[in-house]
Amino acid sequence: MRSIGAQFAGGRHGWLVAVVLFAIVASVQAGSKLVGESAPDFALKSTAGKNLRLSEYRGELVLLTFWSAGCGRCIEQLPQLNRLQDHYADLPVRILSVNLDRKLKRVHEAETDLGLGFPVLLDQRKKVTRRYDPNRLPLTVILDPAGVVRYRHEGFKPGHMDLYFQQLDGLLAEQAGVLMKAGTQ
Amino acid sequence: MNRSSHRSFRVIDLVLLATLFVAAPAWSESTAASMDDEIQDLKAEILDLNRELFLLEEELLFPANTQIAIFVSMDVGEFFALDSVQVKLDGKEVGNYLYTEREVAALHRGGVHQLFLGNVKTGDHELVAIFTGLGPHGREYRRGATLNFDKQIGAKFVELRITDREIKQQPEFFVREWE
């Protein structure tokens, strides 16, 4: 008796199995892009007029999110990041957002409407965004104090915020452990 | 084997075991200390090796004969808040650097920033530097400075210098070669 997989693979559904497998592999690869590697450094101008460089935040945890005003999921996520920022206000956690829109007016409107309390960096030429290679928006990456990408999330689904809190708490605990170990040595 | 020899073996076993218990902590402490030293030595060796590799890489990628390095420096800078510097070499953009507040503060304190390191052939070349930022009274300011130079055999160092001109209450931009 042939296995189910062999029946599918050998039959007319073979191509379907191949497509599904390819999609699964591609999504797994997309989800792990840059994870474990140093985050590509960049300097961008913020809507407030200041130039910010990612590497200047070494020593802190950074949640970096790429968004566009025309992306519904991004607009859903951004105000919730304000809550995250308030929660970690006294801790070395920074939130930076990179906007991809060409029209500045649109970005300013979105920033004001959403009441964003963290820097909005402008990447109109998408040079920085390309280096992070998102498949969909918002792309959110969490960096550790050494500037290494530890987590990467594409899109925004219910439960993602809890995951961000969990991952940031984990990294803070890890950092506290490292400091305690260094203190006892 | 008789009973007395059995007993003597047991005594020897106990003595050996006791020796092991007494000696073990001392041995482990000394081993840990020597291992720690070895690790520190290895770390130092790795750092040395890394430095040598870096120098070798620099020599290989930017041989002294064709090397050109461009630096940015600032003197006072009261009339100009630096935002970015764009550098074109023979019409081709080779560097475009956005300065953060921290970097500008470092330049004010006398720091020198290496904006570009590359290679050019010997002969005549044109270097154009475009400085953008906020000028006097917080107005947007954009100025260019050009240097035509003859690249000889040997490394070439060029400095882009921003200074204040007190009389005119304006910033000044210089491009000069380091001798």
A11 lies in the same domain as A52? no
Residues of chain A with Cβ-Cβ distance to B84 below 8 Å are 51
B112 lies in the same domain as B172? yes
A3 lies in the same domain as A45? no
Q: Which two tokens stand for residue B125?
A: 């070349």
Q: Domain of B32?
A: 1-61
Which residues, including other chains, have CB under 8 Å from residue A85's CB and lie 6 or more apart? Answer: A93, A95, A117, A118
Interface test mutation site (partner B, options A41, A42, A46, A51, max chain B beta carbons within 10 A): A51
B100 and A53: CB-CB below 8 Å? Answer: yes
Among residues A142, A137, A141, A167, the alpha carbon closest in space to that of A155 is found at: A137
A64 lies in the same domain as A6? no
B71 lies in the same domain as B120? yes
A56 and B99: CB-CB below 8 Å? Answer: no
pLDDT band at B135 (very low <50, low <70, confident <90, very high): confident
pLDDT averaged over every residue in chain B:
84
Burial of B77 (0-12, 13-18, 19+ CB in 10 A): middle
Average pLDDT over residues B121-150: 90
Encode pLDDT of A149-177 as tens digits. Answer: 999 999 999 899 999 999 999 999 998 88
Query: For residues B55 and B133, which has the higher predicted lDDT (pLDDT)?
Result: B133
- Among B61, B78, B112, the domain-final residue is B61
B101 and A44: CB-CB below 8 Å? Answer: no
Structural domain count, chain B: 2
* Closest residue in B to A50 (Cα–Cα): B100
Encode pLDDT of B68-108 as tens digits. Answer: 999 999 987 778 889 999 999 999 999 999 999 999 999 99
Q: What is the pLDDT of residue A15?
A: 64
Interface test mutation site (partner A, options B96, B101, B115, max chain A beta carbons within 10 A): B101
Q: What is the pLDDT of residue A28?
A: 52
Chain A window 29-58: which residues touch B at a Cβ cutoff of 8 Å? Answer: 43-45, 50-53, 56
* H or E segment to which residue B116 belongs: strand B113-119
* Closest residue in A to B97 (Cα–Cα): A43
A104 lies in the same domain as A150? yes
Q: What's phi and psi for A69, nearest 5 deg?
A: -65, -20
Q: Tell me, what CATH number does B136's domain have?
A: 2.60.40
B77 lies in the same domain as B49? no
A19 lies in the same domain as A67? no
Tell me how far CA of residue A72 lies from CA of A75, A76, A110, A157, in angstroms. Answer: 5, 6, 12, 11
Q: Tell me, what CATH number does A87's domain have?
A: 3.40.30.10
Q: Domain of A166?
A: 37-184
A10 lies in the same domain as A99? no
* Closest residue in B to A42 (Cα–Cα): B98
Among residues A167, A178, A157, the alpha carbon closest in space to that of A63 is found at: A167
A141 lies in the same domain as A75? yes
pLDDT band at B124 (very low <50, low <70, confident <90, very high): very high
Residue A168 DSSP SS3: helix
Residues of chain A with Cβ-Cβ distance to B139 below 8 Å are none
Q: Is B83 on the interface with A (CB under 8 A)?
A: yes
Amino acid identity for residue B89 in this structure = L
Q: What is the pLDDT of residue A1?
A: 46
A43 and B100: CB-CB below 8 Å? Answer: yes
B56 lies in the same domain as B87? no
Residue B25 predicted with pLDDT over 70? no
Q: How many helices and strands, by DSSP H and E, does chain B display?
A: 2, 8
Q: Which two tokens stand for residue B100?
A: 């953060």
B151 lies in the same domain as B81? yes
Among residues A102, A126, A142, the alpha carbon closest in space to that of A42 is found at: A126
pLDDT, one tens digit for every residue, chain A (185 residues) = 455 445 545 555 666 666 666 555 555 555 578 999 999 999 999 999 999 999 999 999 999 999 999 999 999 999 999 999 999 999 999 999 999 999 999 999 999 999 999 999 999 999 999 999 999 999 999 999 999 999 999 999 989 999 999 999 999 999 888 777 776 66
Residue B12 predicted with pLDDT over 70? no
B100 and A44: CB-CB below 8 Å? Answer: no
B27 lies in the same domain as B88? no
* Closest residue in B to A55 (Cα–Cα): B100
Residues of chain A with Cβ-Cβ distance to B83 below 8 Å are 51
A50 and B97: CB-CB below 8 Å? Answer: no
Total-model pTM: 0.72
**Reported ipTM:** 0.75
B82 lies in the same domain as B158? yes
A72 lies in the same domain as A143? yes
A11 lies in the same domain as A96? no
Tell me how far CA of residue A142 lies from CA of A78, A100, B137, in angstroms. Answer: 15, 19, 40
B155 lies in the same domain as B71? yes
Q: Which two tokens stand for residue A132?
A: 């992070």
Q: What is the pLDDT of residue A91?
A: 94
Q: What does the DSSP 8-state code read for residue B137?
A: G
B57 lies in the same domain as B104? no
A48 lies in the same domain as A10? no
Burial of A133 (0-12, 13-18, 19+ CB in 10 A): exposed
